[in-house]
Amino acid sequence: MGAKRVLRVAAFDVLLPALFGGLATLGFAPFGYYGLTLLALIGLIALWWQASARRGAWRGFVFGLAHFGTGIYWTFVSTYYYGGAPLPMAIGLVAALSVYLALYPLLVGALAGATRGLPRTLWALVVVPFAWMLAELVRSWVMTGFPWLSLGYSLIDAPVTALAPIGGVYFLGLLMMASAGTVALLFAGSIPARALAVVLIALAPLGLWYTPPTTAWTRPSGEPVSVDIVQGNFAQAIKWDRDVFRTTLERYRSMTEASDADLVVWPEVAIPAPAHQISSYFDEIAALAAGRNQTVLAGTLVHESNNAPYYNAVLALGAGEGRYYKRHLVPFGEYFPVPEFVKTLLDGVNMRYSDFGFGAEDQALIEVDGVKLGLSICFEDAFGYEIAKALPQAGMLVNVTNDAWFAGTTAAAQHLEIARMRALEAGRPMLRAANTGISAIIDYDGRVREATPEFEIANIESQVQPRSGETPYMRIGDWPLWWASAAVTLLSLLGSVLLTRRRSKAGASR
């Protein structure tokens, strides 16, 4: 292999895919340069333009490795600094996760190469975008799902947000990839393909103009509710320290005493102890809140009996009643979906109560002043279908979380971005309480009305308007996207095989 060929292979098979993968990350929070993500996708499609299935797969893998490596590097912080994993194990776990996530762009690249013989307009505008959407949908489902960095999240502040209540985040990702394909056609397609690209680009603003606004799907319901979101700010390094426990109790008590809001929201596991061990404390908080017709949502752990598992829970204290147990647990974080003998190999990760129980699917909604709340805990807000379980009954959404596991990284901003998308898809305001931040009140259109700084003791007091109604996405969900993407992918592969056979027969008859 000559020097020029080596340089060409290095550039097109390693350097450029890695560059585009890293560039794509800049479209997500806290950066928000979604134009750079679009540019990266245009570059990726260009790399797939004439690539074989094997080369397309490799380029997709390198792209994914760079993208997810720069996007979810923060998992190292949780496993090494707070999880107690040895350095080699922590590095290995992050590397393994990045490699796993990179398999999805690899598969899309393989399909792009396998179907490159199809008409270019079909390939760029339909085949590749739908294959990418199918990959994101599968990624949101395998091993309970890890949908972080799905393309649509980067568009939370783009002019296309009115489409989210209609099709959801994966539909936005489909449109983004199709937009990249349109630009690629504009520069590399045939004359008719370029003309089509020009027409599509010209019609895009018109399509957005006629898209129903976010106000079209839901409407104000009842009177506003006064809320107080409490951010206790206990770093993960000290959160479970026995010497800090008394301070934790006093801080949440005093911040609650100082509030006259109808609803006070504490973060996930605000009190780092099983509820039955400090029942007198919760009784005090309940009596305090009940005397003021106030409801406190307290994040804690619940252990119902000796033979029962621990639950990551939110308890309603005071005027409100009920509790919520987390349904969608984080694999390898809150439970380990492996045989018992494998768990012995994970002793290096010192995580408290790491085998939680799964909450029931049909839990009753907690109600405050006649307004039902759609609760989620931490990672659950990464799944639109989890939020949909409370709708259309819920007038407001509440997410409690503890992003202190990833302190000093981009994770908190990315998680807030995800929460914004859920509020937008549902057409509901969301109250977000985070231990060390970012706590926020998010309007029904996905905009952040108020937010706290990270790593400070803070609270947000405001009036929040509940809403009723149901967006198309919350009514229908992702199933049309699953069927459409699977059908397009299978038909494109079948069409490619038939086209190859036809060409082979035509060549043999000459």
Report d(CA 259, CA 130) in Å as an integer.
49
pLDDT tens digits for range 227-238: 999 999 999 999
> Residue 396: what are its φ and ψ, rounded to 5°?
-140, 155
Report d(CA 419, CA 396) in Å as an integer.
13
Report d(CA 83, CA 339) in Å as an integer.
21
Q: What is the pLDDT of residue 505?
A: 76
Report d(CA 486, CA 488) in Å as an integer.
6
DSSP 346-372: GTTS--TT-SBPPPPTTPPPEEETTEE
pLDDT tens digits for range 383-427: 999 999 999 999 999 999 999 999 999 999 999 999 999 999 999
- Whether the upstream peptide bond of residue 267 has omega within 30° of 0, thus cis, is no
pLDDT tens digits for range 154-178: 999 999 999 999 999 999 999 999 9
Report d(CA 280, CA 264) in Å as an integer.
19
Identify whether the C-beta of residue 21 lies closer than 8 Å to the C-beta of residue 70: yes
Identify whether the C-beta of residue 47 lies closer than 8 Å to the C-beta of residue 20: yes
Q: What is the pLDDT of residue 84?
A: 81
pLDDT at 347 over 60: no
- Whether the upstream peptide bond of residue 466 has omega within 30° of 0, thus cis, is no
Q: What is the pLDDT of residue 352?
A: 41
pLDDT at 286 over 50: yes
Q: Measuring CA to CA, which residue among 423, 421, 455 is closest to residue 437?
A: 455
SS3 52: coil
Give 49: exposed, middle or buried? Use CB within 10 Å, 0-12, 13-18, 19+: middle
- Whether the upstream peptide bond of residue 392 has omega within 30° of 0, thus cis, is yes
Min mean pLDDT across 171-180, 186-195, 297-306, 429-438 is at 297-306
Report d(CA 418, CA 382) in Å as an integer.
6
Phi-psi region of 469 (alpha: psi -120 to 50; beta: other; left: phi over 0): left
Element (H, E) at 289: helix 279-290
What is the pairing mode between strands 218-220 and 430-434?
unpaired
Q: What is the pTM of this model?
A: 0.94
Report d(CA 467, CA 448) in Å as an integer.
17
Q: Measuring CA to CA, which residue among 448, 440, 443, 433 is closest to residue 467?
A: 443
Give 10: exposed, middle or buried? Use CB within 10 Å, 0-12, 13-18, 19+: exposed
Dihedral angle computed from the Cα positions of residues 441, 444, 449 and 451, in that order, rounded to the nearest 10 degrees: 30
Report d(CA 214, CA 161) in Å as an integer.
8
pLDDT at 341 over 60: no
User: Which active-site residues does the annotation give?
Assistant: 268, 326, 378
pLDDT at 506 over 80: no
What is the overall mean pLDDT for the chain? 93
- pLDDT-based confidence at residue 287 (cuts at 50, 70, 90): very high
Average pLDDT over residues 245-260: 97
- pLDDT-based confidence at residue 343 (cuts at 50, 70, 90): low
pLDDT tens digits for range 10-54: 889 999 999 999 999 999 999 999 999 999 999 999 999 999 999
**Tokens matching residue 355:** 């085998």
What is the SS3 string spanning 129-177?
HHHHHHHHHHHCCHHHCCCCCCHHHHHCCCCCHHHHHHHCHHHHHHHHH
Report d(CA 379, CA 77) in Å as an integer.
17
pLDDT tens digits for range 467-503: 999 999 999 999 999 999 999 999 999 999 998 888 7
- Whether the upstream peptide bond of residue 442 has omega within 30° of 0, thus cis, is no
Identify whether the C-beta of residue 42 lies closer than 8 Å to the C-beta of residue 51: no
Q: What are the strands, taking DSSP E only, across 143-262?
A: 218-220, 225-231
AA letter at 180? A
- CA torsion sign for 78, 81, 86, 89 is positive
Cross-strand bridge partners of residue 263: 227, 295
pLDDT at 80 over 70: yes
Q: Measuring CA to CA, which residue among 292, 297, 298, 224 is closest to residue 258?
A: 292
**Tokens matching residue 333:** 């974080």
